[in-house]
C-alpha cells in the first residue's frame, strides 16, 4: 500500500473507532438502536402534483464525517514531559536513533514551529533543525524578526527515521501524545506547522499541504498556520515566495510587518 493509502486507512480507522465508541456508525451508514431512536424519522417525499413531471428522487445525504472532539490536555512543565518520554522505546524508530530530539527554545515562547522529525545532524546533536533545512528555518525565523531563542521548535516524531524516510503512521501515533503535551505546556499564541506531517497530524486533516498552506486554522483553540517545510523549500526555492506570504500572516498576529 502507498504511504497515502496507509494514511487514509489510519484516519478512517480513527473515525470508525471514535464513532463506534459514541454508539453511532454513520460513516458506514449503520446506526445503533440508540442513535436510530434519537434521530427523527425521515418523512416520505410529498406526492408529486403533476403526473407528467418527472419524479425527483431525493439523493441520500452523504454520511457526515464528524471529527473526534479533541479532549483538552493537561498543562505540565516541559521537563516533566521530557522525563515521561524517557529513553523511549514506544516505536521502532528507537532502534536507529542516536539521540532523542525533544525540542528546543523558549519554554515561554509565543510562537512554536512544528516540523516532521530529526534528520542526521539533529540526531547527532539532539537539537531540532540544525542541519541544512534548519539553517533555512533559522533564516525564516530571523526574517520574521524573531530569534531561535524567542521561539520553540519541535517535531512530530522525536527520533530520526532511517535514511530520513517519512515517519510512518504507527510512529506518529506513538509520538503524538508528546507533541500534544508540549503544545499544551507552551500554550503559544501561534503555531506554525512546517509541511505535510506536522499540519496533517495536528489538524487531523489529510488535505494536501499545497491546499492547506496559507490558511489560518486552529489547533486546540490556538491559531495554526500551515506552510511548506524548509527541506521542501530547499528543493523548490521558487515556493519560498508563498512560504514568506504565510510567515507574513503570522507576523501580523504579532504586530510585526515584514518586507513585501
Ligand atoms: N526536518 C524536520 O522536520 N525536523 C528537524 O528537526 C530537522 C529537519
From 99, 100, 134, mutation site for ligand 1 pocket: most ligand atoms within 8 A of C-beta: 134
Beta strands 30-31; 24-25: pairing state:
antiparallel
Pocket of ligand 1 (CB under 6 A): 115-119, 122, 128-129, 131, 133-134, 155, 231
CATH topology of domain 101-253: Uracil-DNA Glycosylase, subunit E (3.40.470)
pLDDT at 5: 58
Alpha-carbon distance of 1 to 7, in angstroms, equals 10
Q: pLDDT tens for residues 106-139?
A: 999 999 999 999 999 999 999 999 999 999 999 9
Q: pLDDT tens for residues 189-205?
A: 999 999 999 999 999 99
Q: Which atom of ligand 1 is nearest to the CA of 197?
A: 3
Alpha-carbon distance of 158 to 178, in angstroms, equals 9
Q: How far is the centre of ligand 1, averaged over its atoms, from the C-alpha of 254 (Å)?
A: 25
CB distance 70 to 220 below 8 Å: yes
Q: How far is the centre of ligand 1, averaged over its atoms, from the C-alpha of 6 (Å)?
A: 22
Percent of the chain with pLDDT over 70: 73
Alpha-carbon distance of 22 to 18, in angstroms, equals 6
Alpha-carbon distance of 193 to 207, in angstroms, equals 14
To which residue does cell 527554545 refer?
105
From 114, 127, 128, mutation site for ligand 1 pocket: most ligand atoms within 8 A of C-beta: 128
Higher pLDDT, 93 or 41: 93
> Which residues make Cβ contacts (< 8 Å) with residue 122, sequence separation at least 6?
101, 128, 129, 130, 131, 134, 160
Closest CA to 232 of 250, 209, 214: 209
15 pLDDT exceeds 50? no
Q: How far is the centre of ligand 1, averaged over its atoms, from the C-alpha of 119 (Å)?
A: 6
Alpha-carbon distance of 54 to 122, in angstroms, equals 67
Task: List the chain domain ranges.
Answer: 101-253
From 99, 100, 131, 164, mutation site for ligand 1 pocket: most ligand atoms within 8 A of C-beta: 131
pLDDT at 22: 32
Amino acid at each position: 500500500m502507498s504511504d497515502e493509502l496507509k494514511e487514509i486507512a489510519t484516519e478512517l480507522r480513527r473515525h470508525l473507532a471514535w464513532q463506534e465508541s459514541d454508539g453511532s456508525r454513520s460513516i458506514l451508514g449503520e446506526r445503533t438502536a440508540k442513535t436510530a431512536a434519537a434521530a427523527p424519522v425521515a418523512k416520505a417525499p410529498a406526492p408529486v402534483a403533476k403526473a407528467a413531471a418527472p419524479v425527483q428522487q431525493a439523493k441520500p445525504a452523504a454520511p457526515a464525517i464528524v471529527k473526534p472532539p479533541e479532549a483538552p490536555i493537561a498543562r505540565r512543565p516541559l521537563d516533566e514531559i521530557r522525563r515521561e518520554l524517557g529513553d523511549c522505546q514506544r516505536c521502532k524508530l528507537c532502534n536507529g536513533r542516536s539521540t532523542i530530539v525533544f525540542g528546543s527554545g523558549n519554554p515561554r515562547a509565543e510562537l512554536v514551529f512544528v516540523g516532521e522529525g530529526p534528520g542526521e545532524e539533529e540526531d547527532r546533536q539532539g537539537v531540532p533543525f540544525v542541519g541544512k533545512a534548519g539553517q533555512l528555518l533559522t533564516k525564516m525565523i530571523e526574517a520574521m524578526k524573531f530569534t531561535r531563542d524567542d521561539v520553540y521548535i519541535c517535531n512530530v516524531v522525536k527520533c530520526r527515521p532511517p535514511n530520513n524516510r517519512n515517519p510512518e503512521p504507527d510512529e506518529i501515533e506513538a509520538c503524538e501524545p508528546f507533541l500534544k503535551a508540549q503544545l499544551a505546556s507552551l500554550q503559544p499564541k501561534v503555531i506554525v506547522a512546517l509541511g505535510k506531517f506536522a499540519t496533517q497530524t495536528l489538524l487531523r486533516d489529510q488535505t494536501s499541504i499545497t491546499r492547506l498552506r496559507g490558511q489560518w486554522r486552529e489547533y486546540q483553540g490556538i491559531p495554526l498556520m500551515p506552510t511548506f517545510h524548509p527541506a521542501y523549500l530547499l528543493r523548490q526555492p521558487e515556493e519560498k515566495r508563498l512560504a514568506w506570504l504565510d510567515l507574513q500572516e503570522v507576523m501580523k498576529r504579532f504586530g510585526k510587518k515584514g518586507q513585501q
